């Protein structure tokens, strides 16, 4: 196209030279010649309909190509979100990722021990346990740390089968926690033979024994405990059993 325009401009100059009545064409610098060529080219293109239509078509193609196609995002099935409107009219996003807890009726059910019943009988708070340090059979006792009291939960374990039964809770790999007024506390590790978390013994038919779980609570809380619960956890399950 540009070659065509340049040819037209040269033709104009030849015509002007031939019809110039003998007048000499003034000498021009190379820059002046380029300016005249550009001006002439612009004038010709202004009236060239084919050039205008091609320019419009090219512009439309570039516009279409520049608009990316938006892909719809698949919903996340793991964390489902739900938008709700609260009382003030604001939208609140609620994510439901709760897991169902194991429902059990008793401690022995969670421990999967047959023909044995483990029953909560009460609690006491003290500075030292056991308090009877004069017993000749006592070889271990524990003291509460400063500002705290020992919270001793008491349980009764009974073998109601018709034969002697071994009960080994120590090998169950169950973690015991105590929920005091809604706050979970780890049960203390002890060397007590009747520690529920580490009990391993033989029970004769119909025999029962007292087991304990111990944790610490602040002195001021020990005087007014409103609720107690036992939290049991293993690799696969978790259960909370209300005690008080």
Number of domains in the chain: 2
What band does 101 get if pLDDT is binned at 50, 70 and 90? low
Domain that holds residue 196: 107-242
- Cα four-point dihedral sign 161, 167, 173, 177: positive
Q: Is there a single domain that holds both residue 30 and residue 131?
A: no
For residues 202 and 165, is the Cβ–Cβ distance under 8 A?
Answer: yes
Q: Is there a single domain that holds both residue 124 and residue 225?
A: yes
What band does 81 get if pLDDT is binned at 50, 70 and 90? very low
What are the C-alpha distances in Å from 71 to residues 74, 157, 185, 237? 9, 63, 49, 41
Q: Is there a single domain that holds both residue 119 and residue 57?
A: no
Q: Is there a single domain that holds both residue 123 and residue 237?
A: yes
- Report yes or no on 89 lying in a domain: no
Q: Is there a single domain that holds both residue 116 and residue 234?
A: yes
Query: Which of 231, 227, 209, 205 lies closest to 110, judged by CA?
Result: 231
What band does 105 get if pLDDT is binned at 50, 70 and 90? confident
The H or E element containing residue 244 is: none
pTM over cut 0.75: no
Q: Is there a single domain that holds both residue 16 and residue 119?
A: no
Q: Encode pLDDT of 35-45 as tens digits.
A: 565 655 555 45
Q: Is there a single domain that holds both residue 211 and residue 127?
A: yes
- Report yes or no on 69 lying in a domain: no
Q: Is there a single domain that holds both residue 113 and residue 211?
A: yes
Q: Encode pLDDT of 127-155 as tens digits.
A: 999 987 666 566 688 999 999 999 999 99
Q: Encode pLDDT of 170-202 as tens digits.
A: 999 999 999 999 999 999 999 999 999 999 999
- Report yes or no on 97 lying in a domain: no
Q: Encode pLDDT of 27-78 as tens digits.
A: 666 665 665 656 555 554 555 544 444 444 444 445 445 555 555 554 454 4
- Report yes or no on 230 lying in a domain: yes
Domain boundary, last residue among 27, 45, 62: 62
Q: How far apart are CA 173 and CA 227, in angstroms?
A: 26
Which residues fall within 8 angstroms of residue 186, CB to CB, at 6 or more apart?
Answer: 177, 215
Query: Does 227 score more than 70 pLDDT?
Result: yes
CATH number of the domain where residue 238 is located: 2.60.40
Q: How far apart are CA 68 and CA 80, in angstroms?
A: 28
Q: Is there a single domain that holds both residue 123 and residue 37?
A: no
Domain boundary, last residue among 62, 80, 97: 62
Q: Is there a single domain that holds both residue 130 and residue 235?
A: yes
The H or E element containing residue 172 is: none
Going by the DSSP 8-state scheme, the letter that residue 195 receives in this structure is B
Q: Which residues pair with 178 in a beta bridge?
A: 185, 230
Q: Is there a single domain that holds both residue 232 and residue 139?
A: yes
Going by the DSSP 8-state scheme, the letter that residue 198 receives in this structure is G
Paired tokens of 76 = 């996340």
Tell which phi-psi region holds residue 137, choosing left (phi > 0), alpha (psi between -120 and 50) or beta: alpha
Q: Are strands 228-233 and 175-180 parallel, antiparallel or unpaired?
A: antiparallel
- Report yes or no on 116 lying in a domain: yes
Query: Which of 166, 188, 187 lies closest to 178, judged by CA?
Result: 187
Q: How far apart are CA 42 and CA 168, in angstroms?
A: 100
Q: Is there a single domain that holds both residue 47 and residue 131?
A: no
Question: Looking at the chain, which runs of residues are DSSP E strands?
Answer: 80-85, 91-96, 116-126, 128-129, 142-143, 148-159, 165-168, 175-180, 183-186, 200-203, 208-218, 228-233, 238-242
What are the C-alpha distances in Å from 212 to residues 11, 197, 207? 115, 8, 17
Taking all residues of the chain, what is their mean pLDDT, rounded to a whole number? Answer: 75
- Report yes or no on 45 lying in a domain: yes
- Report yes or no on 42 lying in a domain: yes
- Report yes or no on 88 lying in a domain: no
């Amino acid at each position: 196209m540009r070659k065509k325009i340049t040819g037209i401009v040269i033709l104009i100059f030849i015509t002007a030279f031939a019809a110039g009545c003998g007048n000499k064409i003034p000498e021009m610098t190379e820059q002046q010649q380029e300016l005249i060529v550009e001006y002439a080219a612009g004038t010709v293109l202004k009236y060239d309909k084919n050039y205008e239509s091609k320019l419009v078509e090219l512009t439309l193609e570039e516009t279409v190509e520049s608009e990316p196609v938006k892909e719809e995002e698949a919903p996340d099935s793991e964390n489902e979100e739900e938008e709700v409107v609260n009382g003030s009219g604001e939208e609140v996003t609620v994510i439901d990722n709760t897991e169902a807890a194991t429902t059990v009726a008793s401690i022995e059910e969670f421990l999967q021990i047959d023909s044995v019943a483990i029953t909560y009988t009460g609690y006491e708070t003290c500075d030292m346990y056991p308090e009877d340090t004069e017993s000749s059979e006592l070889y271990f006792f524990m003291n509460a740390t400063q500002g705290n009291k020992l919270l001793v939960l008491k349980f009764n374990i009974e073998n109601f089968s018709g034969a002697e039964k071994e009960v080994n809770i120590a090998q169950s790999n169950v973690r015991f926690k105590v929920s005091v007024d809604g706050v979970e506390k780890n049960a203390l590790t002890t060397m007590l033979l009747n520690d529920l978390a580490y009990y391993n013994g033989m029970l004769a038919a119909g025999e029962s024994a007292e087991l304990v779980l111990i944790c610490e609570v602040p002195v001021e809380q020990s005087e007014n405990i409103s609720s107690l619960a036992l939290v049991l956890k293993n690799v696969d399950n978790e259960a909370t059993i209300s005690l008080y």
